[in-house]
Structure 1
Amino acid sequence: MISLHGPQGPIEHAGPGEGAELPREAIWIDLLDPTEEEARQVEAAFGLRVPTREALSEVESSSRLRRLKTGGLSLSSPMITFDHADFALKPVGFVLTKDRLVTIRFHELRAYDTVKTRIAERDGDCATGVEIFLLIVEELVDGLADTLEEMSADLASLSTRIFDFDPIERSGSDRVGRLSPKRRDLALRRLLRSIGWQGKALGKVRASLLGLERIVPFVKDSCAEHLDAEESPRFDTLSRDITSLDEFETRQTETLQFLLDAALGLINIEQNNAFRILTVVSVVGIPPTLVASMYGMNFKHMPELDWIYGYPYGLSLIALSALIPIVVSRIKGWV
């Protein structure tokens, strides 16, 4: 989908199948998951090459930060989807020239919609591609900051769940009973799953910050001669904001590692409890086994030897002695 915006706001245009050219007065061309026809239409109208998704997904810096022969810049960075149900990384791209900006993205981003609203409200104040680029990056940084704040709250809640983990089931302030091993196991699994999800999300936020951290100074240095007195300080502010968010994310990662160690400690405690029970059960069986092995049960007067069903009786005792521990373990929830 192609969205065109001029200094005053959105510009109506014909689709790629209608044969009409795109309006030349557009200073921001926003491409959302563009088709090949849409990319060719933009290239024909503005003389700018639109990079493919594969090109934007390249990881080396030389592919993400490039100066074009036409004098513009080709930029790309991974960006989280801001979908809290399932964070994902998808590339976003910028083709920036002195007169206009082309953005390429493959998922909805609230930052772009906010910028479109701000352009309409400013009524002609956004006349350059650099100005719109600054607005977009500022909104993306704000979105990442909000995401980190929400994740910080989630980590605080996760910390409470870990350090308040109590195998004793309670109703209000009254003790009801001990949680079954299965329920404790399920609770610990949920803790580990939450820690893993937080770690995955933090890693993707870090990748997004790293991409913006490289782009901002590159654009500032490349466009220094075109920046006005207000735009240059905004680049510096963005760099400081990104650095502070990067430091905050590092602290969150350290906290997450601490919580992971604590959760693994709880799991070790539960495992030790299980081994303790098994040890007690095995120790209980050792004295009878020792006595039986010493005498071999080879006494002269053993009534069972004269029974017709003595042999089935012995087999039944063997089976029963094996079944009783299994039944007890099932009742206790150990297995």
Structure 2
Amino acid sequence: MLSLHGPESALEHAAAARSGLPPDAIWIDLTDPSADEAALVEETTGLRVPSRQALSEVESSSRLRRIRNGLSLSTPMITFDRADSVLKPLGFVLTKDRIVTVRFHELRAFAEVKARLADGDGPAASSTEIFILLMEELVDSLADALEEMGADLDALSTRVFDFDTSARPGARPDDRKAPRRRDIALRRILRSIGRRGKALGKLRASLLGLQRIVPFVAAECGSFAAGDADARFETLQRDIASLDEFETRLTENVQFLLDATLGLINMEQNNTFRILTVVSVVGIPPTLIASMYGMNFKHMPELDWIYGYPYGLALIAASALVPVVYFKVKGWF
């Protein structure tokens, strides 16, 4: 899709395919462009529209390049979809007279800038002004996403540290969490942490891309930048640096929650093994006594004793009961 914007408002572009782009089109926004749309922009402006494959290159020399009459920039940008966020490439071709943006998903930042231009918010926009506005809105979107991530991690922290791996003392049997339910709850917490960590990594990749783009453009576009561009670029760099620090703290929090959850899972496993250990120890003395009196020797002291059988059963029961009482006193279960 192709949309055009002049210094103050959007431009009609329905007939662009027949007559070419308007001469006052400062911002050319391409959303998942077709080959015909890319060819039209290249023919009219003389600027090469980068393909999706070119924008996906990871080396710095491919993402930040100086072209003949401007700059070619690209960065991965998160889709900001809370359900399943992904990284998609975002590209800019910036010259003194025009800015071409190439993207493959909807971004709130672009809609906000278009609304500000339509409302006449500020002076007539130049290509550099539009670029700075886009950077400011993208940084704001990343800040909002990181704030939401921080709130999610706080709620997840409450779930982790309020999780009771055992039943409350004195609770009724129907109030006690079954091991299966506790296992499912811990699995859900672990998956939630994993999803947050995955999304946080994509936010960091987007933030890192902007962290590289802003100082590069600030250093390279001095010849055609607006009067207050330097101050706004400095503000952007400070904002990105503060977001980077905040993201680092969130990453540490994710790792802390992951370690805590794995510790809870280890406690659950230890409880299971402890029960198995008690059961095995309780079963050893009765087995030993039964095996002794099950030996086929002709002369055994209790063989002809009238109370031999009740005595054997009582001895087996007592040998099983003593370990149970011992472990109960020690608090093993």
Match of 1:190 among 188, 191, 198: 188
The whole-number CA distance in structure 2 between the counterparts of 1:126 and 1:287 is: 92
Instruction: Determine whether 1:5 maps to 2:5.
Output: yes
Alpha-carbon contact 1:31-1:105 (below 8 Å) kept: yes
Instruction: Determine whether 1:268 maps to 2:266.
Output: yes
The whole-number CA distance in structure 2 between the counterparts of 1:279 and 1:126 is: 78
Which amino acid in 2 is paired with 1:57? Answer: S
Hey, what does 1:31 align to over in structure 2?
30
The whole-number CA distance in structure 2 between the counterparts of 1:106 and 1:220 is: 25
Hey, what does 1:208 align to over in structure 2?
206
Question: What pairs up with 1:161-180 in 2 under 5 angstroms?
Answer: 161-167=159-165, 177-180=175-178
Instruction: Determine whether 1:96 maps to 2:89.
Output: no
Q: TM-score scaled to structure 2, two decimals? A: 0.85
Secondary structure, aligned partner of 2:43:
helix
Which amino acid in 2 is paired with 1:269? Answer: M
Residues 131-163 of structure 1 show CA distances to partners (whole Å, capped at 9, x for unaligned) of 000000100000000011111011110110011
Hey, what does 1:86 align to over in structure 2?
84
Structure 1 residue 288, shift from structure 2 partner: 2.6
Q: 1:47 to 1:253 in 2, by over 3 A?
A: same
The whole-number CA distance in structure 2 between the counterparts of 1:107 and 1:300 is: 89
Hey, what does 2:57 align to over in structure 1?
58
Hey, what does 2:14 align to over in structure 1?
14
The whole-number CA distance in structure 2 between the counterparts of 1:169 and 1:292 is: 36
Hey, what does 1:113 align to over in structure 2?
111
Structure 1 residue 222, shift from structure 2 partner: 0.4
Structure 1 residue 124, shift from structure 2 partner: 7.8
Structure 1 residue 289, shift from structure 2 partner: 2.5
Alpha-carbon contact 2:129-2:226 (below 8 Å) kept: no
Question: What pairs up with 1:248-327 in 2 under 5 angstroms?
Answer: 248-298=246-296
Aligned alpha-carbon RMSD (Å)? 1.9
Question: What pairs up with 1:62-77 in 2 under 5 angstroms?
Answer: 62-69=61-68, 71-77=69-75
Alpha-carbon contact 1:73-1:97 (below 8 Å) kept: yes
Structure 1 residue 291, shift from structure 2 partner: 2.8
Q: 1:284 to 1:122 in 2, by over 3 A?
A: same
Hey, what does 1:318 align to over in structure 2?
none
Which amino acid in 2 is paired with 1:50? Answer: V
Q: 1:295 to 1:104 in 2, by over 3 A?
A: same
Match of 2:141 among 143, 156, 161: 143
Q: How many residues end up aligned between the 2 structures?
A: 297
Hey, what does 2:306 align to over in structure 1?
none
Secondary structure, aligned partner of 2:30:
strand
Structure 1 residue 57, shift from structure 2 partner: 0.5
Hey, what does 2:39 align to over in structure 1?
40
Alpha-carbon contact 2:207-2:244 (below 8 Å) kept: yes
Alpha-carbon contact 1:167-1:178 (below 8 Å) kept: no
Secondary structure, aligned partner of 1:85:
coil
Which amino acid in 2 is paired with 1:222? Answer: E
The whole-number CA distance in structure 2 between the counterparts of 1:27 and 1:169 is: 66
Alpha-carbon contact 1:96-1:130 (below 8 Å) kept: yes
Residues 211-249 of structure 1 show CA distances to partners (whole Å, capped at 9, x for unaligned) of 000000000100112223311100000000000000000
Identity of aligned residues (%): 69
Question: Which segment is superposed worse, 226-235 or 123-132?
Answer: 123-132
Secondary structure, aligned partner of 1:226:
coil
Structure 1 residue 299, shift from structure 2 partner: 5.4
Alpha-carbon contact 1:78-1:208 (below 8 Å) kept: yes
Alpha-carbon contact 2:63-2:73 (below 8 Å) kept: yes
Residues 49-91 of structure 1 show CA distances to partners (whole Å, capped at 9, x for unaligned) of 000000000000000000012x210000001101111111111
Alpha-carbon contact 2:55-2:63 (below 8 Å) kept: yes
Secondary structure, aligned partner of 1:122:
coil
Hey, what does 2:304 align to over in structure 1?
none
